[in-house]
Amino acid sequence: MTCKEVREYMLDAAQENRVAGLDEHLKSCASCARELESMRQTMALLDEWEAPEPSSYFDSRLRARVREAAAEPRSWLVWLRGPAVAFALAALMVASIALFRNAPDHKEIAKTPNPPSMVQTGTAVSDLQELEHDGDMYANFDMLDDLGTEAETANP
């Protein structure tokens, strides 16, 4: 048996449990024998130790503290500690993430071509639509002024 194996069984040996091969190793290894004896002395001291008895007023003081703690005003954050609220918040987060991931992309919607118009070209309706489109384009007169100044600087 090696020192490492003996250390694994040291607690059993300190409690006077028989471990096969341990006695032979302890006869040949002084450090393991010292460690085992030290552990036995420590366990003997622990067996002699007794926990101190609480004072006679311990129970009454403990009950008074519990009553004081129960009488303290509670914060509005106390409701967050409930497991039902935590579960509801988790479900809400999962649902919102699922909706966000399945939402259509706005860029893709903008890239979709306009539906084909039912109006034939060369008719009065198509001409009015073209005029409306041109009117939207020329509605910004500042842009036209800028175009005029550019043309003047290009042809002096």
- At 87-116, the pLDDT tens digits run 888 999 999 998 888 776 665 555 555 555
- At 69-87, the pLDDT tens digits run 888 877 766 666 777 778 8
The larger pLDDT score, comparing residue 145 to residue 34, is at 34
- pLDDT for the residue 98: 87
- pLDDT for the residue 62: 92
Closest CA to 129 of 142, 141, 114, 144: 114
In percent, the amount of the chain with pLDDT more than 90 equals 10
For 1, 62, 97, 140, the CA distances from 143, given in Å and listed in that order, are 96, 83, 44, 6
- pLDDT for the residue 80: 65
- pLDDT for the residue 70: 85
Mean pLDDT, rounded, for 25-48: 88
Mean pLDDT, rounded, for 48-61: 87
Domain boundaries, given as residue ranges, for the chain:
3-48, 124-154
- pLDDT for the residue 110: 55
Give the predicted TM-score (pTM) of the model: 0.35
Mean pLDDT, rounded, for 25-53: 88
The region that residue 120 occupies, defined by phi over 0 for left and psi between -120 and 50 for alpha, beta otherwise, is beta
| Phi and psi, residue 61, nearest 5° | -65, -40
- pLDDT for the residue 100: 83
Mean pLDDT, rounded, for 48-59: 86
